[in-house]
Amino acid sequence: MNSNLRVEGDRAYLLDDDGQIVATLERKGLTREVADAWAEGLESGYDMGFAAHKAIAAIKARTAATVLTPTSQDYAPLGGHLVIATSEAIGLTGSMSAGVFLTTAVRWAKRSKTWEFTATAKEWKAETGLTRNQIDNIRSLLEPHDLMLSWPSYDEKTKRVVLHYQINAERLRAAIEIHRKTGRTLNRKASPRNWRGNGGAA
């Protein structure tokens, strides 16, 4: 039984060590067993870094439950939606904003077998709150380490320039492992190498 889990009727709350709510689950007829499975999946996912979203999806599919996005009612008067960054992404990059970017990029990239995705500055802003300048700065941190590659293209249908991104999953896993063992964060290098591999291959 998870000591950080609180169940009240059809809602379950996962708390951090300070008693603050970090995730909420709502399901009609919610049982303690289902809530425990959900909490275990979440915590395992966060511990494994990139597996968080896979764990959440598995729990949702198994229980037909809904993981609620915080609203202004939950965090009055802030409102908005929850922006997620794993602790290891923050630790590896050395900043909260870069951790948010990397966590979101991995989530989007995992939808593709090649770990590629496209995103505009407007989409980044809507999802993470990060500005174009912040994104460019974070890219200049990640790309020289061969953790990510990005390149622009023009979309004839939308008449806009979009950036393509590709995560080097193998290099990222290795960097995370080094960070776990040494606590080392990424430093800024001069210029990126021309890496473009198969992304998700490990």
pLDDT tens column, 125-169: 989 999 999 999 999 999 999 999 999 888 788 888 888 999 999
Answer CATH for 95-182 from 1.10.1200, 3.30.460, 1.10.3470, 1.10.10: 1.10.10
Helices (H), the chain: 32-47, 52-63, 87-93, 96-109, 121-128, 132-142, 169-182
The predicted pLDDT at position 164 comes to 93
Per-residue pLDDT tens digits for 90-116: 999 999 999 999 999 999 999 999 999
Question: Range(s) for CATH 1.10.10 in the chain?
Answer: 95-182
3-state DSSP assignment of residue 66 = strand
Between the alpha carbon of residue 167 and those of residues 45, 63, 116, 195, the distances in Å are 19, 31, 7, 10
Higher-confidence residue: 26 or 108?
108
Q: Which helix (H) or strand (E) covers residue 71, if one does? A: none
